[in-house]
Amino acid sequence: MIPASFEYFSPRTVPEAVHLLARYGPEAKLLAGGHSLVPLMKLRLAAPRYIIDLNRIDGLSYIREEDGVLRLGALTRHAEIEHSELIRARYPLLADAARVISDPLVRNMGTIGGSLAHADPAGDWGAAMLAAGAEVVAVGPGGTRTIPIDGFFEGTFVTALRPDEVLTEIRLPRAAKDAGGAYLKLERKVGDFAIAAVGVGLLLDGGGTCQQVGIGLCNVGPISLRAAQASRLLSGRKPEESVLARAAEAAAAECDPADDLRGPADYKRDMVRVLTLRALRLAVQRARGGA
């Protein structure tokens, strides 16, 4: 349980971190909250020769609405999102997801940027960001680029980030008046990764019809998954119970769970159906102004 030795850097700016990444290449790893990387290093499943700690860089931790988007700094801790008044009041999908990530110890240290960059299909932020229609901002030697969340997860623990890029910000559409969201997670015990979890984000137009429906699925496939067919079934329709039920069945058909210690695949698939139905009901209720 003791990591291999490494050289430690503590840059004060993003360009400095990018420079170090470019210099040390694949032998270097960024450190954010350390709650995925450090356990891997202790188990010697990762043995980076160079650690580049982002924690001394000012201005990477924030939650603010600006220019029609919600901006989350990459170093924003799960607990800061969980306790943010803005998030609680206007972004229920994010508030729900933040509060079910592990336990307070993990939430106090783990960061949203680290979670997305780690790309664990069991990570709750991946599914929540797919549901919310997020974009990821990355800074590298060539400048800044924006990556839509749909192209971000390329494989299990693999993202579209280049080895010399730092994820600096996550952007979400600013909450509209008739928007609703929810994130529901089934876990074996409090603090565990999900057996399955489902995030929903949607908008009801003036006539009460579903628009901009996003459904993200957690830990039921090799990457965080979007239930695209389920979303299509809802778009342009009134959220009647029969429509929600059909969408939930579609989401279950779209996931790709494996048998493991959290249960057999067919059980997880059915839990996706149940969680999708419940999350859709809750998101609709919230969009109509309910709690």
Ligand X SMILES: Cc1cc2nc3c(=O)[nH]c(=O)nc-3n(C[C@H](O)[C@H](O)[C@H](O)COP(=O)(O)OP(=O)(O)OC[C@H]3O[C@@H](n4cnc5c(N)ncnc54)[C@H](O)[C@@H]3O)c2cc1C
Binding stretches for ligand X (CB under 6 A): 29-37, 39, 54, 74, 101-102, 106, 110-111, 113-115, 117-118, 120, 123-125, 161, 166-167, 193
What is the Cα–Cα distance from 64 to 71, expressed in whole angstroms? 5
Contacts 24+ apart (CB under 8 A), 248-252: 248/272, 248/273, 248/274, 248/276, 248/277, 248/280, 249/273, 251/198, 251/215, 251/217, 251/227, 251/276, 252/276
Q: Fill in the DSSP letter of residue 111.
A: B
Q: CB of 246: closest distance to ligand X in angstroms?
A: 29
Report the SS3 class of residue 203. Answer: strand
Find tokens 């280049």 and name the residue.
162
Q: CB of 281: closest distance to ligand X in angstroms?
A: 23
What is the Cα–Cα distance from 111 to 81, expressed in whole angstroms? 10
Strand 50-53 relative to strand 28-31: parallel, antiparallel, unpaired? parallel
What is the Cα–Cα distance from 258 to 278, expressed in whole angstroms? 23
Query: How many helical (H) and strand (E) elements, i.e. helices and strands, does the chain have?
Result: 11, 14
Is the CB of 161 or the CB of 283 nearer to ligand X? Answer: 161
Q: CB of 245: closest distance to ligand X in angstroms?
A: 28
Is the CB of 102 or the CB of 235 nearer to ligand X? Answer: 102
Is the CB of 185 or the CB of 226 nearer to ligand X? Answer: 185
Is the CB of 41 or the CB of 203 nearer to ligand X? Answer: 41
Q: At 29, phi and psi to the nearest 5?
A: -135, 140
Is the CB of 101 or the CB of 227 nearer to ligand X? Answer: 101
How many other CB atoms are there within 10 angstroms of residue 147's CB atom? 17
Question: Among positive and negative, which fits the CA dihedral 106, 268, 161, 163?
Answer: positive
Is the CB of 146 or the CB of 288 nearer to ligand X? Answer: 146
Q: CB of 287: closest distance to ligand X in angstroms?
A: 25
Q: CB of 28: closest distance to ligand X in angstroms?
A: 8
Q: Fill in the DSSP letter of residue 161.
A: -
Q: CB of 264: closest distance to ligand X in angstroms?
A: 21
Q: CB of 54: closest distance to ligand X in angstroms?
A: 6
Is the CB of 32 or the CB of 280 nearer to ligand X? Answer: 32
